[in-house]
Amino acid sequence: MANLFYPQLTSGALAQYPLRKTRITRTIKNILSDGSMILLPDSDARRTIWQLEYSNLSFADVQLLQSHFTACKGPLSAFTFIDPTGNMLASSTDLTNAVWQKSSLLQIQTDTADPLGGTTGQTITNYGQSAQELAQTLEVPANYQYCFSLYAAAVAQTPVTLFQRGPNTEQSKRMFLSSGWNRLTVSGRLNDSGSSMTVGASLDAGTQIKVFGMQLEAQISPSRYQPTTITGGVYANAHWAMEQFQITAEDINLYATTVSIETAA
């Protein structure tokens, strides 16, 4: 079934703490007649399992979870799950990767000093005569609460615009950089029923900035930066790892439940 997405709570969060995230791997071992061994990773057996515990949920939130479980027919149908502990963006450490949409007028230089004392920052220069964008598009609901953040600095006072864009609406925030590193954020929920979200930064003509730590999260404010390489924290082939959806009434209009979700690597 298309366009099945794990629901976000009315609070703007996907999960509550404590939660448990387990990664399962398997190694194939062949023991030869001379006692030597050949070890090979079995990539098809890799799994990640989330166990999410919810309490003090409103009836509306319980209905969201239960309706999604019913729409998926329990563990039968796949859905898209956003890791509540991860960075949704892919290749946050390499803005030259093809997953980032950018004009040829934007030049990106790697191995730039970063705010943590390393050299994993990147320098972006706009050689165009108009504003140019660096962006990434994800197949996730446009109307969820998101927070897009990055660290940025510039030699002189320089404007930069961060944006969150759905198929029909957009939210943006224009800020000015200085020589020191600052974490910039744009956070909000779009009034947009689309099933994709684009986030990124727009640079004015002829400007240059240093950036580090591009991150997108389905929550209100940013958490500690989680670097990503090839993939980000969006899993398009997740399944409920349980046969029944059980609810406990804690008080009037307050409910609790524990759910399990599994994804392939």
> Considering the chain, what is the average pLDDT of its residues?
93
Q: State whether 76 and 165 are in the same domain.
A: no
Q: Supply the pLDDT for residue 96.
A: 95
Q: State whether 106 and 228 are in the same domain.
A: yes
- Choose between 194 and 265: higher pLDDT: 194
In a domain, 75, yes or no: yes
Q: Supply the pLDDT for residue 158.
A: 96
Q: Supply the pLDDT for residue 110.
A: 93
Cis peptide before 18 (omega within 30 of 0): yes
For the record, the structure tokens of 229 come out as 């390489």
Q: CA nearest 57: which of 226, 265, 256, 219?
A: 256
Residue 70, judged by CB atoms within 10 A of its CB (0-12, 13-18, 19+), counts as exposed
Domain CATH code at residue 152:
2.60.120.260
For the record, the structure tokens of 70 come out as 């019913």
- Work out the number of other CB atoms within 10 angstroms of the CB of residue 39: 8
26 pLDDT exceeds 90?
no
Task: Give the whole-number percent of the chain exceeding pLDDT 70.
Answer: 99
Q: State whether 185 and 219 are in the same domain.
A: yes
The position carrying tokens 């939210």 is 171
In a domain, 14, yes or no: no
Q: What is the mean pLDDT of residues 206-223?
A: 97
Q: State whether 159 and 244 are in the same domain.
A: no
The Cα–Cα gap between 200 and 133 comes to: 7
Q: State whether 227 and 115 are in the same domain.
A: yes
In a domain, 119, yes or no: yes
Q: Supply the pLDDT for residue 168.
A: 96
Q: Where are the alpha helices (DSSP H) in the chain?
A: 59-71
* Residue pLDDT, tens place only, 233-257: 999 999 999 999 999 999 998 999 9
Q: State whether 213 and 144 are in the same domain.
A: yes
Q: State whether 152 and 228 are in the same domain.
A: yes
In a domain, 248, yes or no: yes
32 pLDDT exceeds 90?
no
Q: State whether 56 and 107 are in the same domain.
A: no
Whole-angstrom CA distances from 68 to 5, 78, 95, 242 are: 8, 11, 35, 13
Q: What is the mean pLDDT of residues 9-38?
A: 87
Contact 104, 126 (CB under 8 A): no
Q: Supply the pLDDT for residue 264.
A: 84
For the record, the structure tokens of 123 come out as 């320098």
For the record, the structure tokens of 98 come out as 């093809």
Domain that holds residue 81: 19-85+235-264
Amino acid at 203: L
The Cα–Cα gap between 146 and 123 comes to: 25
Contact 167, 196 (CB under 8 A): yes
Domain count, the chain: 2
Q: What is the mean pLDDT of residues 131-137?
A: 97
- Choose between 43 and 54: higher pLDDT: 54
- DSSP letter (8 states) at residue 156: S
The Cα–Cα gap between 76 and 127 comes to: 51
Q: Supply the pLDDT for residue 2.
A: 54
In a domain, 66, yes or no: yes
Q: State whether 105 and 223 are in the same domain.
A: yes
- Work out the number of other CB atoms within 10 angstroms of the CB of residue 206: 12
In a domain, 55, yes or no: yes
113 pLDDT exceeds 90?
yes
**pLDDT bucket at 184, cuts 50 / 70 / 90:** very high
**pLDDT bucket at 1, cuts 50 / 70 / 90:** very low
45 pLDDT exceeds 90?
no
Task: Give the whole-number percent of the chain exceeding pLDDT 90.
Answer: 86
Q: State whether 117 and 77 are in the same domain.
A: no
In a domain, 10, yes or no: no
Q: State whether 209 and 245 are in the same domain.
A: no
Amino acid at 47: R
In a domain, 255, yes or no: yes
Weakest mean pLDDT among 20-34, 44-58, 63-77, 230-244: 20-34
3-state SS class at 254: strand
Q: State whether 196 and 248 are in the same domain.
A: no
The Cα–Cα gap between 249 and 157 comes to: 55
